[in-house]
Amino acid sequence: MHQAALLGTMIRDAPHYGWELAQPTPHSWRKMAEAVQNHVKSLNWGHRVQLQDRKVKYFNIKASFVNKHTVRGVTKDGKETLLSAEHIVIATGGRPRYPMHVEGALEYGITSDDIFWLKESPGKTHLSGCFVQAEAQEQGLVVGASYVALECAGFLTGLGLDTTIMMRSIPLRGFDQMSSLVTEHMAAHGTRFLRGCIPLRVGRLPDGQLQVTWEDLTASKENTGTFDTVLWAVGRAPETGSLALEKAGVSTDPHSQKVLVDAQEATSVPHIFAIGDVAEGRPELTPTAVMAGKLLAQRLCHQSSDLMDYDNVPTTVFTPLEYGCVGLSEEAAVARHGQEHVEVYHAYYKPLEFTVAERDASQCYIKMVCLREPPQLVLGLHFLGPNAGEVTQGFALGIKCGTSYQQVMRTVGIHPTCAEEVAKLRISKRSGLDPTVTGC
């Protein structure tokens, strides 16, 4: 869906490059959703086939613990199965959380899990048995400031829907706070923001629209607005509540309800393990869980003793202007090493593909966080711009291998790419000089 939104931007850019396209170009949510759903179904089928090929028994059942070595599974029709094993791995992940303190949240809201399965655009209002386009109203409200909230709001805006984000505090908490440029870019391209606000209740109006009441914390007053869809992106909860972990003696964090694990991914019961989003203190990232699972399997089969390394895990936020990062944020580096021991190199740059189309590049920004003492070990890299995931993945290897600023500066850039701007970072924050790139 992010790619669908990017294609919309490219269609608008195309006339600048000589393509004579009819404008505006309509978008079919139904066709896109069908393609996305078919892709997901094919992935699921592929996993089933691979399990069968490797002679792995697959049970489509809802499981819970009976004791330390046994789980009970229940099928959809209520049939029970008991399974016993020497080792058990919990990898149940998490699900989007509903704000249960908000009246009407569950009845009238959806989550990021739901939006990918909507057959009709969330910017359509049901009225008198037919779908009509709402006029002069914000069509979609996304509540939250996480990467899930910003990604969903970003592609909804990109697909031509009027979208509003309601956030209580700062966006992308836990990321480097250059991430404020992400929301600046979104605001400049049509996404509305309600900052310092919290939802109070949601109700349905006679015409089918949803009326949302929220508190403006800065003005200490209540406001209301009408929307076609309310999407909750206020965090995720681990799938531990129905597992009967207490019967196996598996301990969880009392606050997060995630499973407590050690460096071996072992729980409080040595032969029971937990990986992925369900484990406390682990990044909520699919590739991280996959890698942890592979290494755990190798250890259990006595093929290796390698442990998962959770330092310098790269990731990307797929907002309209993508944000990729690996390593420490500037704030974390300063907290760990002290301001006087950290050097930050940065640049505002203009991607070549923005030039002919005359697109605004105000928020395209790169930051490299280093130790100040030579050879200046790179502690973190933060990249805001096109194809951020592809750029970050390459530099993540160097940072994982302990690269230094000097080595990055000796790396020949590939012209004319955005990635080469990383190898041209010469201006330090400490210098106070203008970091805007003015030429090659």
Kindly state whether residue 16 falls inside one of the protein's structural domains: no
Interatomic CA distance for residues 267 and 282, integer angstroms? 13
pLDDT, residue 24, reads 87
The verdict on 230 and 132 lying in the same domain is yes
The three-class DSSP label of residue 344 is: strand
Kindly state whether residue 401 falls inside one of the protein's structural domains: yes
> Which of 235, 250, 270 is the last residue in one of the domains?
235
pLDDT, residue 124, reads 56
The verdict on 102 and 227 lying in the same domain is yes
Kindly state whether residue 20 falls inside one of the protein's structural domains: no
Interatomic CA distance for residues 243 and 89, integer angstroms? 12
The verdict on 110 and 199 lying in the same domain is yes
Catalytic annotation present for 271? no
Residues ≥6 apart with Cβ < 8 Å to 20: none
Residues facing 211 on adjacent strands = 203, 226
Cβ contact 111:201 at 8 Å: no
The verdict on 342 and 427 lying in the same domain is yes
Helix (H) or strand (E) holding 376: none
Place of tokens 């600048």: 16
Residues facing 107 on adjacent strands = none
pLDDT, residue 440, reads 55
| Cis amide leading into 24 (omega within 30) | yes
> Phi and psi (nearest 5°) for 394?
-65, -45
Question: Which residues of the chain, if any, have pLDDT below 50?
Answer: 125-138
Q: What is the pLDDT of residues 378-428, one digit of tens each?
A: 999 999 999 999 999 999 999 999 999 999 999 999 999 999 999 999 999
Q: What is the pLDDT of residues 403-417, one digit of tens each?
A: 999 999 999 999 999
The verdict on 248 and 329 lying in the same domain is no
> Phi and psi (nearest 5°) for 382?
-135, 125
> Which of 235, 265, 291 is the last residue in one of the domains?
235
The verdict on 288 and 367 lying in the same domain is no
Kindly state whether residue 309 falls inside one of the protein's structural domains: no
Kindly state whether residue 85 falls inside one of the protein's structural domains: yes
Number of domains, the chain: 3
Q: Which two three-digit tokens encode residue 421?
A: 């701007």
The verdict on 348 and 361 lying in the same domain is yes
The verdict on 284 and 374 lying in the same domain is no
pLDDT, residue 23, reads 83
- Going by C-alpha positions, the residue among 62, 92, 82, 84 that lies closest to residue 74 is 62
The verdict on 223 and 242 lying in the same domain is no
Structural domain of residue 119, as residue ranges? 97-235
